[in-house]
């Protein structure tokens, strides 16, 4: 009998397992795949290491917010960090104009003012505004005193695009302020200001790639979990949850094995979770709320293997928009925007060995292959992916003309890949949409009506390495106590 059984060996499942096992609880992580890491996977093609859900991350400078969470989760000092270019961590191409976006709040503000000298007030208001939002989240601002541990803030009810549009009527500046929008799949009609603010503020603070990649990060935590006496069972898909007397009794694996625990944590997408638990386990109203939540759009990625020593490594991310319209995930004229970057090359600091291009993709675009499985989707699907990949390569080549002639091979992933590898509902990239119009509806709490079942992961409050770390903290606080855990977090 385990103290805690955790469904899912992605970032959140591993973080929870690490913290709880460190505190002496006997944990068991059940991961459906052969490999841990979930969305945050690394894979190798033609000798090049690519990362799926971890291109770069934010605020890892000493004492910065994610650095503190990494310290709590045993990751600090265990990974090789490379900071992106201070003067240009993001390059924005918007409507044929380029903007070099630096790190550091002052540098960011000064650079924007040099691009938009008539917009000084709007830029100052923007900086003050996003700082205020971040400060309003206790688990972000990490002050020494904390009374309310919830992840809510007054700004969950404000829209990101509304906030930006209220600061300036300059369409170009509006687009630049929201230029890293693909990091949260921002939509004008729904994205909450806090999602935009927490992400933008943190990436402006500092931006980093991690040499060991997603798998390296997962392995660091897995080794620590095992050293703490925890167990990680791979190829262990949970297919049924046995509920009795308002509590989970055990979980059943696809191979028939039954795993017993006192408490259970699920990091699965909540909609997928509902498909393996009895209809009567939750009140109808709660179940319907979960099942009717909107999901963020999926992604189509092209992973290009480059010819050796031909294209320089770019220590930044390039966000390329065809027009000033950066808030749209509507895809009538696909592709309208892409994120391009070169992953770290373990053999050379100067040249890139890979090139990644990422664009939004609706699930409905791949739905006709919904009944297929990985590697068995057929020729038509392969042709579809090839056609889409060539379109993205064409678009990327508009900015990097030497790309096309230096491609050795390329590989792709679609929302179906994410659906089948991670069980993210319909291949949604960032999980449940946090809609400013209805924050209470879209934010999921770690506690559930079942007395020994908890949720964690990107669907709770926010996605991404930082958002998930905060969710893992909130879930573990249910076991270890808010204040006890908080003191560990702020101790640096």
Instruction: Give the residues lining the site for ligand FAD (CB under 6 A).
Output: 7-13, 30-33, 38-40, 52-57, 237-238, 267-268, 299, 301, 358, 418, 422-424, 429, 457-458, 463-465, 468
Give the nearer residue to ligand FAD in terms of CB position, either 11 or 352.
11
Q: Residue 342 and residue 396: Cα distance in Å, rounded?
A: 12
Nearest to 296 by CA among 410, 464, 96: 464
- Give long-range contacts, CB 8 A cutoff, 24+ apart: 115-120: 115/173, 115/176, 116/170, 116/172, 116/173, 116/176, 118/170, 119/168, 119/170, 119/173
Question: Who contacts 8 (Cβ-Cβ below 8 Å, separation ≥6)?
Answer: 29, 30, 31, 32, 38, 266, 267, 268, 457
Question: Who contacts 331 (Cβ-Cβ below 8 Å, separation ≥6)?
Answer: 360, 361, 362, 365
Give the nearer residue to ligand FAD in terms of CB position, either 48 or 183.
183
Two structure tokens written together for 483: 């204040």
Give the nearer residue to ligand FAD in terms of CB position, either 352 or 358.
358
Min dist. Cβ of residue 308 to ligand FAD (A): 26
CB 52 within 8 A of CB 301: yes
Min dist. Cβ of residue 237 to ligand FAD (A): 4
Give the nearer residue to ligand FAD in terms of CB position, either 7 or 443.
7
Min dist. Cβ of residue 12 to ligand FAD (A): 3
Give the nearer residue to ligand FAD in terms of CB position, either 303 or 486.
303
Min dist. Cβ of residue 483 to ligand FAD (A): 25
Give the nearer residue to ligand FAD in terms of CB position, either 27 or 123.
27
Sign of CA dihedral 320, 90, 107, 205: positive
CA within 13 Å, CB half, 161: 17
Give the nearer residue to ligand FAD in terms of CB position, either 423 or 489.
423
Min dist. Cβ of residue 451 to ligand FAD (A): 22
Cis ω before 335 (30° cut-off from 0) = yes
Q: Residue 134 and residue 194: Cα distance in Å, rounded?
A: 7
CB 90 within 8 A of CB 101: yes
Q: What is the DSSP string of 13-60?
A: HHHHHHHHHHTT--EEEE-SSSSSBTTS-EEEETTEEEESS-S-EE--
Give the nearer residue to ligand FAD in terms of CB position, either 116 or 421.
421
Give the nearer residue to ligand FAD in terms of CB position, either 31 or 119.
31
Min dist. Cβ of residue 232 to ligand FAD (A): 11
Min dist. Cβ of residue 198 to ligand FAD (A): 11
Min dist. Cβ of residue 158 to ligand FAD (A): 23
Nearest to 75 by CA among 19, 144, 143, 156: 19
Min dist. Cβ of residue 393 to ligand FAD (A): 17
Min dist. Cβ of residue 428 to ligand FAD (A): 8
Min dist. Cβ of residue 314 to ligand FAD (A): 15
Two structure tokens written together for 439: 């924050």
Give the nearer residue to ligand FAD in terms of CB position, either 224 or 423.
423
Give the nearer residue to ligand FAD in terms of CB position, either 315 or 422.
422
Min dist. Cβ of residue 418 to ligand FAD (A): 6
CB 356 within 8 A of CB 340: yes
Give the nearer residue to ligand FAD in terms of CB position, either 52 or 168.
52
Nearest to 9 by CA among 219, 286, 302: 219
Q: What is the DSSP string of 159-219?
A: BHHHHHHHH---HHHHHHHTTTGGGTT--TTTBBHHHHHHHHHHHHH-EEEETTHHHHHHH
Q: Answer left, alpha or beta for residue 343, where phi above 0 means left and psi between -120 and 50 means alpha.
A: beta
């Amino acid at each position: 009998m385990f103290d805690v059984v955790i469904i899912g060996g992605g970032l959140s499942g591993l973080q929870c397992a690490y913290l709880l096992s460190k505190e002496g609880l006997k944990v068991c992580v059940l991961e459906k795949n052969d490999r841990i890491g979930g969305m945050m996977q690394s894979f190798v093609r033609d000798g090049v290491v690519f990362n799926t859900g971890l291109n770069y991350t934010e605020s890892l400078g000493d004492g910065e917010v994610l650095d503190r969470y990494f310290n709590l989760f045993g990751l600090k000092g265990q990974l090789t960090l490379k900071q992106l270019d201070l003067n240009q961590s993001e390059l924005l191409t918007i409507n044929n104009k380029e903007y070099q976006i630096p790190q550091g709040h002052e540098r960011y503000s000064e650079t924007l003012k040099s691009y938009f000298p008539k917009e000084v007030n709007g830029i100052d208001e923007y900086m003050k505004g996003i700082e205020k939002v971040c400060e309003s989240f206790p688990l972000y601002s990490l002050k020494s005193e904390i009374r309310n541990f919830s992840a809510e803030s007054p700004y969950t009810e404000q829209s990101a695009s509304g906030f930006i549009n209220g600061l300036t009527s300059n369409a170009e500046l509006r687009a630049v302020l929201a230029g890293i929008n693909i990091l949260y799949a921002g939509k004008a009609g729904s994205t909450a200001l806090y999602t935009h603010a927490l992400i933008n503020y943190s990436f402006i603070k500092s931006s980093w790639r991690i040499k060991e990649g997603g798998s390296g990060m997962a392995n660091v935590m897995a080794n620590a979990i095992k050293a703490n006496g925890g167990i990680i069972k791979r190829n262990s898909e949970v297919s049924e949850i046995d509920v009795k007397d308002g509590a989970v009794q055990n979980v059943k694996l696809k191979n028939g094995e039954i795993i017993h625990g006192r408490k259970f944590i699920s990091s699965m997408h909540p909609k997928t979770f509902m498909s393996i638990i009895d209809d009567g386990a939750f009140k109808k109203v709660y179940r319907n709320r979960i099942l009717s939540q909107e999901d963020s759009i999926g992604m189509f990625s092209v992973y290009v293997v480059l010819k050796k020593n031909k294209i320089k490594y770019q220590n930044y991310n390039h966000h390329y928009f065809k027009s000033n319209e950066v808030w749209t995930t509507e895809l009538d004229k696909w592709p309208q925007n892409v994120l391009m970057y070169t992953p770290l090359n373990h053999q050379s600091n100067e040249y890139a060995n890979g090139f990644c291009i990422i664009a939004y993709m609706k699930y409905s675009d791949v739905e006709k292959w919904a009944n297929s499985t990985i590697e068995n989707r057929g020729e038509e699907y392969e042709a579809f992916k090839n056609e889409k990949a060539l379109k993205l390569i064409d678009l990327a080549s508009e900015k990097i003309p030497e790309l096309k002639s230096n491609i050795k091979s390329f590989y792709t992933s679609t929302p179906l890949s994410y659906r089948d590898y991670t069980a993210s509902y319909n291949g949604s990239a960032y999980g449940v949409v946090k809609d400013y119009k209805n924050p209470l509806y879209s934010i999921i709490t770690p506690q559930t009506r079942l007395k020994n079942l908890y949720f964690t992961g990107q669907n709770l409050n926010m996605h991404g390495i930082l958002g998930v770390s905060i969710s893992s903290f909130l879930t573990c606080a249910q076991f270890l106590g808010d204040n006890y855990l908080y003191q560990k977090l702020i101790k640096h």
